[in-house]
Amino acid sequence: MSENVDTTQAPRKIGPPISRVSRLLESKQLGWVALAGALLAPFVTATPYALNVMTTAAIFVMLASGLNIVVGYCGLLDLGYVAFMAVGAYTAGILSKSFQLPLIFTIPAVLVLTVLAGLIIGGPTLRLRSDYLAIVTLGFGEITRITANNLTVTGGPSGIFGIPGLLKIGSVDVEDPAVLYYVTVLVVAVFVLASARLGKSRLGRAWRFVREDEDAAEAMGIHTYKVKLLAYIFGAIWGGLGGVLFAAHLSAVSPQSFIFLQSALVLMAVVLGGMGNMRGVVIGALVISLVPELLRDLGAHRYLFFGLLLVVVMVFRPQGLWPSRGYEPERPAGGTGDGEPGGGQSR
Amino acid sequence: MTQLIWDGLFVGSFYALIALGYSMVYGIIKLLNFAHGDIYMLGAFIGFALLTSLGGIPGSLSLVALLGVLLVSMLLTGSAGVLIERLAYRPLRGAPRLAALITAVGVSFSLEYGVSAIAGPNPRAFPVRLEGGVFQVLGARISLPQIILMLIAAGLMIALNTYIQRTSTGRAMRSIALDTNASLLMGINVNAVITRTFFIGSALAGAAGVMAGAYYGQIDFLMGFIIGLKAFTAAVIGGIGNIKGAMLGGLVLGFVEAFGTQWFGGQWRDVFAFAVLILFLTLRPTGILGERVTERM
């Protein structure tokens, strides 16, 4: 990816020469290979169970790529990310059920509502310190879930079920598991690509700048509040559309799907994969969503394991397992802001 | 009406006890210790384990046993807090704030599911329940256990306040909260003081956990999550980093919940706390008693 490194970065010597493995991992074709792998997977195994797991994993990748915009690019900790997914899923479910529309026609309403949710929650808090944002998003996630649990329009604790499929054209019904899987994979691929491209755009560079040093960014003429709000809104859109896919996949939505654990798992995918690096995030999301399926014996202990892993990774490698290039904190220790660089700064 | 005020006061004193730890840690190292609510949960489970191992306790001795267990649990949760600080937070001191926050989330997760792995995911019944007479004061139903627990909470808070205002360690804590580097230059052993802060905060949360277990009679491994959030809300309401503010904030939050529940129904109970939190952060992020201007990240 060397030719894609942000041009804003001064050329910098990075540790030892790039090994063959990391060159392979950073090749431009990797994304296409992954997409091909995802598209070919049903030819290997297409049991309903396998399709179910793979579709769930694909939706999880979508969520992680959305959260990556907020946490990875912009450095804002969002602990209530599934709230946006809930807003999307409930909006889509309620509208399509009451008007008997295919889910796809509810997307404009979903977009409007998730952006609105992002504005409501981000607007007042993004001016504050980032830790306040973290806890407010956590509270927001809980409020969303409790509200869904208590209202009648959302079906209370049992939620809404019997949601129509995504779309039906002639004989091709997107409700069919295999078709839905392909649609999901393609949609997710588009959004992952979009998220990666966003990170390289002018706005993406502004996000990184805000993440690294907000005051300096502001001094350079970046409207930090606006830029942060945009990150938040983009994250909300990704989450909301992920929610639509989720509703299409399960054809049912209930408050139990939007507990804090889900937000935390998406966050882990982003953090463990490497904040800001879309490839890492996709791999992290796949690992987090597939490992429990592969290692059933791990059972309830997997969350303990994930929690410990999170601490260990943060202590020894605060930038994530596979961070984006140029994120390594190589600043010499100076002000109070930076301190010592993370333990494993070169591999 | 009197009933609502009393309920608010009672629940609020729990919140205050937990909010203190949040506020102290935040005041000193500017870290949002997400795991603090889980220390409360840990306290409840340690109390549970101790009381279970003690075996049958005659009803007349249950208060004495409970006080003893309370002390031991406070010691143990305090040590757990110190351990967590040493292993997870200290290496990240001075690291980007995001990393520290994520670590705190990880610690919280590890505590929750660690306890779940050891004690099982199902709710447990607390072996000792405080029983006592109920009497009427100005139309409010007040029970003896409530009075005892509130006295314990008040005693702990007064002791903490004296400790912070009168002792040299307390002065060191206040000085670190103002300026860590200057305190270091003045010869304060910053690490030791931070360790002690974690010990005290965690011990208070552990005490609250044991008390909650004894009062409500049921504990589970996720009990610290919501209450941690609420305690943080209380700390923000009072002005985070401010010890008296945390106590005040706890009581205010208790009142808000009691009255809100009365007017809107119990199922919205948790929503109030967060709505109040968002309202405060929007309108007055420094809280009621906070003076310092919110600094930028």
Residue A196 lies in a domain: yes
Task: Report pTM.
Answer: 0.81
- Residue A121: its chain B contacts at CB < 8 A? 278
- Looking at the complex, report in whole angstroms how far the Cα of residue A188 sits from the nearest Cα belonging to chain B: 26
What is the pLDDT, as a whole number, of residue B138?
72
Residue A24 lies in a domain: no
ipTM: 0.80
What is the pLDDT, as a whole number, of residue A17?
54
Residue B76 lies in a domain: yes
Q: How many domains does chain B have?
A: 1
Q: How far apart (Å, rounded) are the C-alpha atoms in residues B198 and B192?
A: 10
Are A132 and B285 inside 8 Å of each other by CB?
yes
Give percent above pLDDT 90 in chain B.
8
- Low-confidence stretches of chain A (pLDDT beneath 50): 1-13, 327-347
Residue B255 lies in a domain: no
Residue B296 lies in a domain: no
Are A143 and B275 inside 8 Å of each other by CB?
yes
Are A143 and B105 inside 8 Å of each other by CB?
no
Residue B187 lies in a domain: yes
CB of B266 within 8 Å of any CB in chain A? Answer: no
Residue B95 burial by CB count (10 A; 0-12/13-18/19+): exposed, middle or buried? buried
Q: How confident is the model over A6-47, as pLDDT tens digits? A: 444 444 445 555 566 666 666 667 777 778 777 777 777 778
The four Cα atoms B200, B203, B209, B213 give a dihedral, to 10 degrees, of -140
Q: Hey, of A79, A119, A131, which one would you mutate to test binding to chain B, going by the most B CBs within 10 A of its CB?
A: A131
Closest B-chain CA to A123: B282
- Domain containing A64: what range? 29-260
Q: Quick one: how far is CA B180 from the chain centroid?
A: 24
Q: How many domains does chain A have?
A: 1
- Domain containing B121: what range? 2-10+20-225
Residue B30 lies in a domain: yes
Residue B200 lies in a domain: yes
What is the pLDDT, as a whole number, of residue A20?
64
What is the pLDDT, as a whole number, of residue B57?
65
Q: How confident is the model over A240-280, as pLDDT tens digits? A: 999 998 888 888 888 888 888 888 888 888 888 777 778 88
User: What sign results for the dihedral spanned by CA atoms A313, A319, A325, A326?
Assistant: negative
- Looking at the complex, report in whole angstroms how far the Cα of residue B98 sits from the nearest Cα belonging to chain A: 7
CB of A306 within 8 Å of any CB in chain B? Answer: yes
Q: How far apart (Å, rounded) are the C-alpha atoms in residues B211 and B43?
A: 9
Q: What is the 3-state secondary structure (H, E, C) of chain B?
A: CHHHHHHHHHHHHHHHHHHHHHHHHHHHHCCCCCCHHHHHHHHHHHHHHHHHHHCCCCHHHHHHHHHHHHHHHHHHHHHHHHHHHHHHHHHHCCCCHHHHHHHHHHHHHHHHHHHHHHHCCCCEECCCCCCCCEEEECCEEEEHHHHHHHHHHHHHHHHHHHHHHHCHHHHHHHHHHHCHHHHHHCCCCHHHHHHHHHHHHHHHHHHHHHHHHHHHCEECCCHHHHHHHHHHHHHHHHCCCCHHHHHHHHHHHHHHHHHHHHHHCHHHHHHHHHHHHHHHHHHCCCCCCCCCCCCCC
In three-state secondary structure terms, A330 is coil
Residue B197 lies in a domain: yes
Residue B208 lies in a domain: yes
